[in-house]
């Protein structure tokens, strides 16, 4: 296990020298009427990204419940997730999907490090 991996994701990022992500970012709340029309919406949805690196437009979704028939693995929930993920892509976001185990093991941090180019 990677050093510091049992820490919350924002703290792991801080220790790794990465930007600190915003938790539970309600991205759709910040869309203007032109962006909403472009994605076929009239009003902002209550869509949130679990973690968001705002300046880089990188979102992290922590997917849970796969192995216990949770929301993300049932048909209606999966379809709603796809709509949200496609909207993020249309708005220029990159989305990394991880599990709680990925965060605990440090695997999520390794993905995030790859998303940020070294200067």
- Summarised one tens digit per residue, pLDDT across range 86-100 is 889 988 999 999 999
Contact 17, 4 (CB under 8 A): no
pTM value is 0.81
CATH fold label, 9-115: Endonuclease; Chain A (3.40.960)
Out of 13-17, 38-42, 47-51, 108-112, which region has the weakest mean confidence (pLDDT)?
Answer: 38-42
Question: Would you give the DSSP letter of residue 69?
Answer: T
Give yes or no for a contact between 9 and 108, defined as CB atoms under 8 angstroms apart: yes
């Amino acid at each position: 296990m990677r050093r510091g991996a049992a820490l919350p994701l924002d703290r792991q990022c801080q220790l790794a020298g990465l930007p600190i992500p915003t938790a539970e970012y309600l991205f759709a709340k910040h869309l203007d009427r032109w962006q909403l029309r472009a994605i076929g919406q009239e009003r902002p949805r209550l869509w949130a990204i679990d973690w968001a690196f705002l300046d880089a437009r990188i979102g992290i979704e922590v997917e849970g419940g796969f192995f216990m028939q949770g929301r993300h693995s049932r048909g209606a929930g999966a379809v709603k997730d796809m709509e949200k993920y496609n909207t993020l892509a249309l708005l220029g976001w990159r989305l990394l999907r991880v599990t709680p185990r990925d965060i605990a093991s440090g695997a999520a941090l390794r993905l995030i490090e790859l998303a940020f180019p070294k200067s």
